[in-house]
Structure 1
């Protein structure tokens, strides 16, 4: 039975109670996914009878299933059981094509800035941490990259569409359902501050990725995603940004594998002025989006008063 039969339960129930329900649902789904991961590691990955191709296939299936169970399922259960509905709860209304275009423009404009702060973060960690600690972080990063490489396989172009689906489309959908579509909306009701809800959501989003060298870049992207959702009122806009960003990174991985380019050779450093221009472009487009959102709400308000 749903928590409420009232379709407006999201606006009538206490925000703190709703947030706690979502957290408990998320924990239950995460425990389920962790148990499944343990069973796979114990009885599947350790089986020497499996071929490399079969292991890759199983890993791809598990990656999709884990994303759905850990992110999409808690959001779907929560909105279904509040009685508000998945479509209304997540705000899956069709966006204006203009806002989707803004999201894609921002995705490309943000790349120099992201690369600069990732480079800065790596340099900062290397100089501020001990050699052993930094080496430990590099080992953790290598494990994460090896898991991605196991999913992409030999990075032949024949596997590129499948990698786009598994590592690009599925995470974009499931993670946005969870973080922007549900967590950010709940935090906005609790805090009544858009920027605070976005910052808290971004901190959680960054933490679950376990990517130490790219943590600053992930956080910045999450903040952008949060404002895209806030200004557009449609989850499809941050989904478009997220999918485009993931796909761009996957494309770079395949191009590096095809060309043999060494990204750590020291020739890929981004100049500060390029990052500054990138940041200025992002702020400009976001300002345009905010003004357009304000004018749209004002127009709707005037229409309702007539």
Structure 2
């Protein structure tokens, strides 16, 4: 491990450096992605994507390339560069250790399943958000942004074969999980922990940034909850991998359920926001809290939490 540069850089400076570095890398890879897509498919698919027109199969293929090269790759590269060359402490800022009780991975799996009603409840609350009349323009923009994000997601998750499903499990499920967890629960949560000196504050500030990053305002609360859960998985274990596993379960479940629904293997619509009821929401909340306490105790049996 390279010696940490914490004594040279304040958390505020680290946050500024990492933010500017991430923006710069994302912009660079957006240009690279456009160049690669134009070279392979021409500019027509790019224009179709801008119009949310996915009638041409090339537009969907181009969207995949754009998504991976312009978003997933830079989100993975930015934390690696920051941890190695700016913070000079990859162990602290990426937390790649696998030295934790593997029982935690089973607990994470159960937490992610049990949290589904709670996520749905927060989603329903979020969908009812109405801004004051003088902010109607902002609300209209937020709803438009939400609809565009949903159209992009539906285009990516349109799966004609098991091969398409497996591809999405790898690209949308695993790679996205690794990249986003390195960025948020790795670098940003560590910076926020140094800045606030409080584990809970660091987790929830990072969770809010994680949710805001996705630019889906009417899904802000459920995504923030998930970010909070991922944050506790990392804080209590000292490793990024339980959070990556949880993130993969969340994304991977959406991929599998969507595929099964599209091919009429199940009747459960993944877009249905009224699958559970009030007792289910309460049960989910109580069990998730209890399981987090179990997770913390199991983790601290081998290694203390990050305080």
Q: Which structure 2 residue ranges, 5 or more long, are not aligned?
A: 49-53
What displacement does 1:267 show? 8.5
Task: Show the 5 A alignment for 1:31-70.
Answer: 31-36=27-32, 43=43, 45-46=45-46, 52-70=56-74
* CA deviation string 1:69-102 (max 9, x = no partner): 4311110111110373535531111132111111
Higher helix share: 1
Query: CA 1:212/1:255 → structure 2, altered by over 3 Å: closer, same or farther?
Result: farther
What CA distance in whole angstroms lies between the structure 2 residues aligned with 1:14 and 1:190? 8
- TM-score, normalisation: structure 1: 0.82
Q: Which structure 1 residue ranges, 5 or more long, are not aligned?
A: 299-306
For the pair 1:169 / 2:165, whether they are aligned, the reply is: no
Does the 8 Å CA contact 1:188/1:194 hold for their aligned counterparts? yes
What displacement does 1:20 show? 2.5
Does the 8 Å CA contact 2:211/2:223 hold for their aligned counterparts? yes
For the pair 1:276 / 2:282, whether they are aligned, the reply is: yes
Query: CA 1:85/1:153 → structure 2, altered by over 3 Å: closer, same or farther?
Result: same
Match of 1:14 among 10, 21, 36: 10
What CA distance in whole angstroms lies between the structure 1 residues aligned with 2:170 and 2:117? 25
For the pair 1:240 / 2:245, whether they are aligned, the reply is: yes
What displacement does 1:26 show? 1.2
SS at match of 1:296: coil
* CA deviation string 1:164-200 (max 9, x = no partner): 1121111100000100000000111111111111121
Does the 8 Å CA contact 2:117/2:281 hold for their aligned counterparts? yes
CA RMSD of superposed structures (Å): 3.3
Query: CA 1:135/1:290 → structure 2, altered by over 3 Å: closer, same or farther?
Result: same
What displacement does 1:55 show? 3.0
Task: Show the 5 A alignment for 1:91-106.
Answer: 91-94=95-98, 95-106=100-111
Query: CA 1:257/1:141 → structure 2, altered by over 3 Å: closer, same or farther?
Result: farther
- TM-score, normalisation: structure 2: 0.82
What CA distance in whole angstroms lies between the structure 2 residues aligned with 1:56 and 1:8? 43
Worse-superposed segment, 219-228 or 95-104: 95-104
Equivalent residues, number: 293
Query: What's 2:302 paired with?
Result: 296
Match of 1:27 among 23, 30, 38: 23
What CA distance in whole angstroms lies between the structure 1 residues aligned with 2:182 and 2:80? 8
Does the 8 Å CA contact 1:6/1:83 hold for their aligned counterparts? no
What displacement does 1:229 show? 0.6
For the pair 1:71 / 2:75, whether they are aligned, the reply is: yes
What displacement does 1:146 show? 1.9
